[in-house]
Structure formats: C-alpha cells, structure tokens
Amino acid sequence: MRRMTNDPGFHCDVLIVGAGLTGLVCADRLRRAGVTVQVLEKSRGAGGRMATRRTDAYRFDHGAQYFTARSPELKRQLEDWLGRGVAAAWDVPLAAFDGDAMRPVDNRGQRFVGTPGMNALARDLAEDVTCEFQCRVESVERGGGQWRIRAGGRQWTAGKLLLTTPPEQATQLLAGTGTCLGAELAQVDMRPCWAVMVAFESPAVFPWDGLFINRGPLSWASRMGSRPGRPEAEAWVLHAQPDWSTTHLESTTEAVESALLAAFGRVIGSVPGGSMPNRLLTISHRWRYALARDPLQVGCLVDESLGLVVAGAWCSGSRVEGAYLSGLAAARALNPAISP
C-alpha cells in the first residue's frame, strides 16, 4: 500500500474518495490499465465498512460479517483470494432465531470471510495503489476542466473524480458543482446499525457460530473465533436491527451496550444450558450509514459532462458483492478501455 508524501500540488488522472472495497476495486483496475490514481481516505486504513478492530487479545469484524459471491466477476476474484489465503470459506453452524426456536441455516460453501480480518480484501487491493489515509475530503470543485480536492490544507487535482462516500455525503460534497446526479443520490436512504463487540472470560455454551435474529433489538450475533485466522478467545459481534438503531441513534454507548447484551443473554438463555459468561471487554461502534434501504441497481452514477462518477455498494445491492461490482462499473465508466 503506497502512501503519498505531502505534495501540495499533486495531479493525477483520477481522484478517488474512499478506500472501501468500491474505491479500491476501481483504483486497482485503473492502475493496471495505466491510469494514474490517487485514493483519499479519512480513516487510518483501508476497508471502510469491511472493518476489523484489533485489541491485544481479540480481533473483531464489526462491519460486514461475511460475503457471498454469485457474479462471475467476484467468483473469479474469490478464487484468487482463496488461493493466496486472503479469504477463506466460513463453513460453520448458523441458525435463525425467531424469538422461540432456532432453525439451522444451510451454510455449505456459501459464505466467505477475509483473513485474518474482513479488511484483508481491501488491504490486498490497496497493495499497489497510492492511498492517502487520515485525509478527510472537505470540498470538491470543478473548474477549468478539472477537479480540485482540498483536505487538511492540501490539494489534489485530476481530470476525473470518483466519490464512494455514502450518498448523503456525496450530495454535500457535490453541492455547487452543478452535477445532474442530485435526484438519484436523494433517492437512497442509508440505515444505521449499532454494533457491540464483546469478549467473555470463557466460551459461551451456545452451539451456533452465527445467528440471524428476527425478534427484539438484535439482528445478528457471531462468534469471532469461528473465523479462520482469528484468535480463539471467546469474542462476539452483535448487530442491532436497523429500526432499533434508528430509534437509538443518539443513545449513549452504555445504554446501547446494556440493551444489546441483555437481548443476547436472552438469546443464549433460550438454548438448554445456555448462559452468558462474565464479560472481559465491551466496545461499541455506531455505523451511521450501514446499509441502503432500497439500493439502486445501476452499477454506478455517471455525470459525463463533469468527468464525475459516484459509486458504492448502495448502487448495486448494498452488500460486499455490490461494492465489488460497483467498483468495476466505476472503473469502466472512467476508462471505457477496461473490459467487463
């Protein structure tokens, strides 16, 4: 992963805002086609919502939990990732819980994870891409046939721009540019998700490594140690339902943790002999823009007159696979010589 030095006058063919999967798939394709690219990312590393939080003893995937690959494009990429140990199958016992009963979910050869964390896929794509981290883009301007980005007192220019931020943030950044994409951006409603990461002092007596939950505040719970390459310590990630997360968007982390852990205790307690062990660590994270309610199915949004593309999972189904396909669509829109 190459980092740019602090060059106040950097110019390239394409500027990309966001080092999540969409931005990095696009950057990688363009780079390989000989296009000069600069990625600007506000966080400390690559991955976006395919996030992994590390502590001394634990590794939590607190954003995307796994991915599926149905398209030929992602299946091809998956073969490569599996071959190089960047991804692995996550063939573990899963169930769905409706408040009364646990129903086993078929999980043979369908779900995959990055190794050693979900962010491994983005990190792999970022390997040869020029990325600037901890660089929050504050403004974008179009003038004289080029884009100018300012962030942290520095600036970059390029003929073309790709934004991969959530649509609401893209709308804010593009205000005043005269883009024709405003109406499409306004259609997409991103829903939040509260995530709680919890470590226990002993294994929870619970036969499932991942649980889809259809009743109460929780939507999902997963045992991190069941994923290839993670520490075996007993650590779980809990996700709240979108409606619950919306209602509790501004609640304190203490209140969120208390409600979600109580709900998890009830889920564990519903299996014979199940009980929640003592907690060693609790961390929470609020995803303000987690998943699109009604994602577009357009690949990406293009304003040719401005040399502008806006892309993201929300343009193509809202999941990891959507991000991958949106990144490919963006690369083709920015350089039609790139083959499908």
Ligand X SMILES: Cc1cc2nc3c(=O)[nH]c(=O)nc-3n(C[C@H](O)[C@H](O)[C@H](O)COP(=O)(O)OP(=O)(O)OC[C@H]3O[C@@H](n4cnc5c(N)ncnc54)[C@H](O)[C@@H]3O)c2cc1C
Selected binder of ligand X within 287, 301, 303, 309 (CB under 6 A): 287
Residue 236 found at the interface with ligand X (CB under 6 A): no
Burial class (CB in 10 A: 0-12, 13-18, 19+), 143: exposed
Selected binder of ligand X within 195, 276, 302, 308 (CB under 6 A): 195
CB 157 within 8 A of CB 144: no
CB-CB neighbours of 176 under 10 Å: 10
Q: How far is the CB of 240 from ligand X (least distance, A)?
A: 9
Using the Cα atoms of residue 155, residue 160, residue 164 and residue 166 in order, give the sign of their dihedral. positive
Residue 313 found at the interface with ligand X (CB under 6 A): yes
Selected binder of ligand X within 60, 126, 312, 330 (CB under 6 A): 312
Selected binder of ligand X within 12, 16, 19, 74 (CB under 6 A): 19
Work out the angle at residue 214's Cα, subtended by the Cα atoms of residues 212 and 218, and round it to the nearest 5 degrees.
75
DSSP conformational letter for 224 = G
Q: How far is the CB of 129 from ligand X (least distance, A)?
A: 13
Residue 65 found at the interface with ligand X (CB under 6 A): yes
> Residue 160 corresponds to which amino acid?
K
Residue-wise DSSP of 44-95 = SSS-TTS--EE-SS-EE--S---B---SHHHHHHHHHHHHHTSEEE----EE
Q: How far is the CB of 48 from ligand X (least distance, A)?
A: 2
- Please name the residue that has the structure tokens 């997409």: 188
C-beta of 56 vs 106, nearer to ligand X: 106
Residue 42 found at the interface with ligand X (CB under 6 A): yes
Residue 188 found at the interface with ligand X (CB under 6 A): no
CB-CB neighbours of 91 under 10 Å: 15
3-state secondary structure of 83: helix
Selected binder of ligand X within 1, 14, 21, 162 (CB under 6 A): 21
Residue 136 found at the interface with ligand X (CB under 6 A): yes
Quick one: which of 276, 278, 291 has its CA closest to 241? 291
Q: How far is the CB of 18 from ligand X (least distance, A)?
A: 3
C-beta of 26 vs 268, nearer to ligand X: 26
Is the bond into 336 cis (omega within 30 degrees of 0)? no
Residue 40 found at the interface with ligand X (CB under 6 A): yes
Rounded to whole angstroms, the Cα distance separating 30 from 243 reads 38
CB 142 within 8 A of CB 306: yes
The terminus-to-terminus CA distance of the chain in angstroms comes to 25
Q: How far is the CB of 320 from ligand X (least distance, A)?
A: 3
Stretch that binds ligand X, among 92-100, 161-169, 246-254, 260-268 (CB under 6 A): 161-169
Selected binder of ligand X within 27, 263, 267, 290 (CB under 6 A): 290
- Per-residue contact flags (x/-) with ligand X for residues 213 to 232, judged by CB under 6 A: --------------------
User: Which residues are at the interface with ligand X (CB under 6 A)?
Assistant: 17-23, 40-43, 48-50, 63-67, 136-137, 164-165, 169, 193, 195, 239, 287, 290-291, 312-313, 318-320, 322-323
